[in-house]
Amino acid sequence: MTKLLAVGDTAPNFRLATSNSSYVSLADFLGKKNVVVYFYPKDFTQGCTAEACSFRDSYESFKDLGAEVIGISSDGQNSHRDFAQQHHLPFILLSDADGAVRKAYGVKKTLGLFAGRVSFVVDKKGIIRHIFSSQTRATAHVGKALVLLKSIA
């Protein structure tokens, strides 16, 4: 059974492919930046587009707070590339095709059907400082993450 991580837990490391076939791992940011890791169901869907564009519109605020944003879904690299280009997304999208990272973070499906929408704020030491889960309040993830980042800046 998959256990959802809790605030205070060490965030599981991951190494996943980007849309340009390079790889990014959580360890790349340790000691350097806080990271917002957000899991979302699917590129180009209404809620996921609204969420991604909300992160995009606030990206400078995240950078000003010394944080990086990473979006993760099971979509492939080509889908991520097209999604990022169409919506001018300045942050990293990673492909978790087999769902291993989603499982490591304990992100469950909603109603057993839809990939969950959960965001994690991970500090520079790799510790989870905030978890927000809401399938329907997609754009709320951004504000919740910013509030927490301001409190630890």
**Alpha-carbon Rg of the chain, whole angstroms?**
14
- Taking the C-alpha atoms of residue 84 and residue 69, their distance in angstroms, rounded to an integer, is 13
User: For residues 129 and 152, is the Cβ–Cβ distance under 8 A?
Assistant: yes
- Taking the C-alpha atoms of residue 84 and residue 71, their distance in angstroms, rounded to an integer, is 11
**Residue of 11, 36, 48, 69 marked active site:** 48
Q: Is 48 among the catalytic positions?
A: yes
- What is the SS3 assignment for 129? strand
- Residues 6 or more apart from 114 whose CB is under 8 A from it? 41, 135
Side-chain-side CA neighbours of residue 106 (13 Å): 15
Side-chain-side CA neighbours of residue 108 (13 Å): 8
Active-site residue list: 48
